[in-house]
Amino acid sequence: MTNTIKTDLVLDAKGLACPMPIVKTKKSMNGMEPGQVLEVLATDKGSKADIKAWAESTGHQYLGTIEEDDVLKHYIRKSSGEEAEEKKHPHTATNEEVAAAAGNDDIIVLDVRESAEYAFNHIPGAVSIPLGELEERAGELDSSKKVYVICRTGNRSDLAAQKLTEKGFKDVINVVPGMSQWTGETTSING
C-alpha cells in the first residue's frame, strides 16, 4: 500500500514500548501547528489503543491507523490550543494502597495492559481487559464496586479510568506508578 496521506511530520517510535510512543507523540505535537497531521510509526500493538485514547483525552483528532507488515501507522491531527488541555483522572492510589486492598471482595483490580504483559506478571485476582478492548468489555465489570485500574506506568490506566467514569462507574481509581514499580505479590503463567 502506498502512503497517499499527507502528513506534516513523521515520528519513528518503532521498537518502543508503552509509555514511550505516547511520550514521544506528546513532544512532537507540542512543536506542531494546529491543523497539522502527525504520522506515528510504531511496532507496539498496544499503541493502537494508547494513541487513540490519548488523542481523545487531549482534544487532538485521532484520524486512524494503517497496519503495514509489522508497522502501525497512526495519524493524529493537532487541535487548536484551547482544545488540547490534557485531561487526567482526578482519583489516584499508590501501589501500596492497592496491595493493601487486594483480595477484598468489594473491589476490582482491573489490569488494562496487553494480554502478554498480564500473562507474565500480574496481581493475583486482577481482571485483564486491555485498554483497546475496554469500550466493548466494560459491561463485564460490576459498576457498584470500587475499581482500581492499573497498567505498567499509569498512562493507559488513566485513560481507562476516564473511560469507565464516562460509562457511569462511580468509584474508579487510577493506580500510579503501576506495575513497573510494583513490589507486592504477583503471579504469572509460569506459576
Active site residue 151: no
CA 130 from chain centre, in angstroms, equals 8
- Show the beta-strand stretches assigned E in the chain: 9-13, 37-42, 61-68, 71-77, 92-93, 107-111, 127-128, 146-150, 172-175
Q: Do residues 93 and 148 touch, judged by C-beta distance below 8 A?
A: yes
Q: How far apart are CA 69 and CA 28, in angstroms?
A: 24
Q: How far apart are CA 180 and CA 190, in angstroms?
A: 19
Angle at 101 between CA 95 and CA 104, to 5 degrees: 145
Q: Which of 11, 13, 18, 138 is catalytic?
A: 18
Residues annotated as catalytic are: 18
